[in-house]
Each structure stands twice: as C-alpha cells, then as structure tokens.
Amino acid sequence: MTEPVDIRGGIELPATTEHIELHTSDGLTLVGELATPMDRAPVATLVTLHPLPTAGGFMDSHILRKAANRLPALADLAVLRFNTRGTSSPRGTSDGSFGHGLTERADVAAAMAFVAERHLPNPWLVGWSFGTELALKYGLEYPIRGAILLSPPLHSTTSDEVAAWAGNDRALVAVIPEFDDYLRPDAARLRFASVPDVRLIAVEGGKHLWIGEKMTRRVLTEIVATVNPQALPLPTEWTAALPDAS
C-alpha cells in the first residue's frame, strides 16, 4: 500500500507533460510546456502568463509551476506555460527580447493559436503580475472563458482596457493580496469599479509573490473554484503512486 504523501512544495503529481514550441507572427519561437491529465481529457485549460521577466519572472515562477505539477491530477485541467520573448528558464530561452508588454501581444496570440490547434477545451487566461497586464490588454481578442488575475499591478493597463471587460460573457476574477506591493484590495475595488461583474477576492495575509504553502493552496483553490469547482476541495494528500523522479 502506498503511504500518503503531503501535497506541498515542489511535489509533482502524475500528468502527461510535453515540451512545446509556440511560433509568433513576427517569426519568433517561444519555448513552453503543456501538462494534461494522464488518463482522461481535460475539462478546461489554463493558459498561464508569467510575472515580469526583467524582475525574475518566467514560466517556472512558483505558482504557475505548482499549478502544472498539481492541477492536471487534482482538477482535470490542462496547464500551458511558456516563456515570453527573451525569457529564460530550465526549459530554454524564447527568441527575441522583452517588449514591455507591447510586442508580447504576439506571444499571447501564439499561445491561443496553439490552444486552438490542439482543440484544448474551455481556455482561461491566468496571469500573475506582469502577466495580468497581458491578459487584460489582449485577452478579449480570443474565445476564452475568462481571465484570472493574480496580484494585478495595473501599471500599464489603461482604464479603457479595464472597462472593456464590462458587459461581455468573459468572466474576470482578480485575486488581490492584502499586503500587495502595488495594488491592495481597497485600491483594486476602485480600479475595477468600471467592471461591475468582476469577482474581486481579497486574500488576508497575502503578498505579491504568494510565498508559502498556505498561499499556494489558497491561490490554486481560487483558480479551481473558478474553472472547475466540482474538483473542490483540493486534497492535501496523495495516496496513489507518484512519477519516477529519475
């Protein structure tokens, strides 16, 4: 009998993982990874957009990596991660150079083209910090179910770009840390006031980087509550076999 293992830290639960490449309209190749449930079709797809690469953000930023490591097994989700242009990780380095959120429009387009080509179901954008700017600016160009914003700073997203999310069928969920470095809950309520249907979730004790297992579980729970609530509550132990670490 397999002993239960705590689901925490860098644990990797069973999934089918594939190294992928995305190809942009301006001729760049972006490196990434797709994780899907091993023995069944995913019910929805998370297209993740990582934090600011010039401040250390990349496809392996811990919340996104843990989503890929856990949610295919726990919540039947496909998780697509990739390095935006000029960004490096152990997976490799994407072509190009940082475009301050402007040329990255083509990176989002390449990711969504991949989702369409693979017929991945019910796509949601999941942006973290800088990634939320890309989701807000460009997400409405695609047939997504909605966007989940983790620690949105709203540095470059304009008021008009936020307001554009009002009155359409794409959901908008903003997960705001109590002690965020850039946008805290009270200020976020004002900045998102133009979107009456936004679901704003203030996380007590949270900080911009969501450090610690308690915060990881809270963020992953909010993602699953939005995308596949039937999978809740997320278990804290795994009792089946784990992938071979070798």
Would 86 be classed as within a structural domain? Answer: yes
Would 106 be classed as within a structural domain? Answer: yes
Would 243 be classed as within a structural domain? Answer: no
- Write the DSSP assignment of the chain as a string of letters: -PPPEE--TT---S-EEEEEEEE-TTS-EEEEEEEE-SSS--SEEEEEE-S-GGGT--TT-HHHHHHHHHHHHHH-EEEEEEPPTT-EETTEE-SS---TTTTTHHHHHHHHHHHHHTT--SEEEEEETHHHHHHHHHGGGS--SEEEEES---SS--HHHHHTTTTSSSEEEEEEETT-SS--HHHHHHHTTT-TT-EEEEETT--TT--SHHHHHHHHHHHHHHH-GGGPSPPSEE-SPPPP--
Per-residue pLDDT of the chain (246 residues; tens, 9 = 90+): 578 999 999 999 999 999 999 999 999 999 999 999 999 999 999 999 999 999 999 999 999 999 999 999 999 999 999 999 999 999 999 999 999 999 999 999 999 999 999 999 999 999 999 999 999 999 999 999 999 999 999 999 999 999 999 998 999 999 999 999 999 999 999 999 999 999 999 999 999 999 999 999 999 999 999 999 999 999 999 998 887 654
Would 98 be classed as within a structural domain? Answer: yes
Would 21 be classed as within a structural domain? Answer: no
pTM across the whole model: 0.96
- CATH number, domain at 210? 3.40.50.1820
Provide the residue range defining the domain that includes 125.
Answer: 26-229
Would 145 be classed as within a structural domain? Answer: yes
Would 163 be classed as within a structural domain? Answer: yes
Domain total in the chain? 1
Would 46 be classed as within a structural domain? Answer: yes
